[in-house]
Amino acid sequence: MTDPADRPILSWPDPRLRQRAESVGAVTPEIRALAEEMLRIMYAAPGRGLAGPQIGEMRRIFVMDCGWKEGTPTPRVMIDPEIAGASADTITRTEGCLSLPGIPADVARPAEVTLRFTTLDGTQVEERFTGFEATCVQHERDHLDGVLCIDYLDAAARAALDPALAALGPV
């Protein structure tokens, strides 16, 4: 695959960030190489998650590592992920996004989610996520449907971000 410096992270308002990604299907050597490349790009950014559409790969895959900045890296790859369940309880966190550099958004999301996904070895699993990992899973999963964290803001909060969004480029 290409060097991370050769594959930029797309910034808003790139229209690819608003498109629904296609299913990956079978885990092939190409998909494994894509996952490795995505992890390199994410760590270099430095971020905690990265979805395929953020680098122009319109496939349903994301990578994440919620704790690497505080300790040992624990990279995760989720292929064709679907939310299988979510708690009624919500939590609001300030989310950052590599495609919205310097634009934090306070987003309320379910405090716990169950994600069904395929791993790099082709195994289908279902896993429950809580805390910051639950937020990250939902944030990255949204990218696969063309949804950004700013889409959850009310009109006043979104209007407050409009000058920063305009600085990223014309819509």
The residue annotated as part of the active site, out of 37, 57, 133, 140, is 140
Q: Is the pLDDT of residue 1 over 50?
A: no
Integer Cα distance of 117 and 120 in angstroms = 10
Q: Is 140 exposed, middle or buried (0-12, 13-18, 19+ CB in 10 A)?
A: buried
pTM of the model: 0.93
Lowest mean pLDDT among 3-12, 123-132, 144-153: 3-12
Integer Cα distance of 80 and 96 in angstroms = 23
48-94 pLDDT, tens digit per residue, is 999 999 999 999 999 999 988 888 899 999 999 999 999 999 999 99
- For the chain, the structural domain boundaries read 4-168
Mean pLDDT, all residues of the chain: 94
CATH class of 4-168: alpha beta
11-56 pLDDT, tens digit per residue, is 999 999 999 999 999 999 999 999 999 999 999 999 999 999 999 9
Does the annotation mark 133 as catalytic?
Answer: no
